[in-house]
Amino acid sequence: MSQPAWSRVDAWIEQTLLPPDEALAATLEASEDAGLPAINVAPNQGKFLMLLALMRGARRILEIGTLGGYSTIWLARALPAEGRLVTLEFDPHHAEVARANIARAGLADRVEIRVGPARATLAAMIAAGEAPFDLVFIDADKPNNPHYLDAALALSHAGTVIVADNVVRDGRAADPASTDESVAGIRRFMEKVAAEPRLVATAIQTVGSKGHDGFALALVV
Ligand code: SAH
Ligand code: DHB
Ligand code: MG
């Protein structure tokens, strides 16, 4: 199978299991119009994230890497009315587009966007004694993934689910000789996950409309 076949299957999955969704369609349209890159998770992946949060019964979710808020909306939909999602974004333009998308989706009361470099925001959250999160989705700049893992652990409790996007990158992540900084960040992240006694983890490759990539999934025990 090749990329066109993967995309056909994704389209079939979407048509079969994901009902048309105005807020999500408008989010992708507004993000494209605003010039944001189309590096959001695929629709079936977004629903997968929502399902993980529902299965976990998550009340507090942390996202690192907002973009236009597409994955944010999927995750926030898993929250109860009094739940909270904090999402971290470096680019003020992305954050502004996301804010409008999240408001259109009716989730402004549950979602807070914190603008700035995520490492600094996370350090401030840890220093301020921010309450732990039930699910953390890591999906920003890949070279910083090892740092994001440390911060996620500091903001976790037993039972927290940690998900990282893009841990395969067309298979490049499996190449120990790679000189790509993103690959180095992903590989170091995976090694740190493996070495952390508080984590039980795996990773799953994915193919589809977003190419060949994968998620790492870890549970804090
Ligand atoms: N989670 C989104 C996609 C995120 S794309 C979705 O699936 O819909 C990655 C985002 O991380 C981009 O918006 C980028 O601006 C942001 N980013 C990159 N470096 C960052 C940093 N150091 N701190 C916070 N956000 C960062
Ligand atoms: C990139 C980032 C992502 O989070 C993603 O899902 C795909 C691509 C990127 O930076 O190229
Ligand atoms: Mg991603």
Is there an atom of ligand 1 within 6 Å of 141 CB? yes
Q: Give the mean pLDDT per block of 10 residues along the chain (221 residues).
A: 92 98 98 98 98 98 99 99 98 99 98 99 99 99 99 99 98 98 98 98 98 98 98
What pLDDT is stored for residue 65 in this prediction? 99
Ligand 2 mean position, distance from CA 208 (Å): 14
Place of tokens 């994968």: 214
Pairing of strands 135-138, 161-165: parallel
Is there an atom of ligand 1 within 6 Å of 152 CB? no
At position 173, the amino acid (one-letter code) is: A
Is there an atom of ligand 1 within 6 Å of 91 CB? yes
Ligand 2 mean position, distance from CA 196 (Å): 25
CB 125 within 8 A of CB 167: no
Q: Ligand 3 (ion): which residues have CB within 5 A?
A: 139, 165-166
CB 54 within 8 A of CB 131: no
pTM over 0.85: yes
Rounded CA-CA distance 206/168 in Å is 8
* Total domain count, the chain: 1
Ligand 2 atom 4: the closest Cα is on which residue?
139
**% helix / strand / coil in the chain, to the nearest 5?**
50, 20, 30
What pLDDT is stored for residue 102 in this prediction? 99
CATH classification of the domain holding 167 = 3.40.50.150
Domain with 91, as residue range(s), is 3-220
Ligand 2 atom 6: the closest Cα is on which residue?
39
Is there an atom of ligand 1 within 6 Å of 210 CB? no
What pLDDT is stored for residue 2 in this prediction? 83
Q: Give the number of other Cβ atoms within 10 Å of residue 4's Cβ.
A: 8
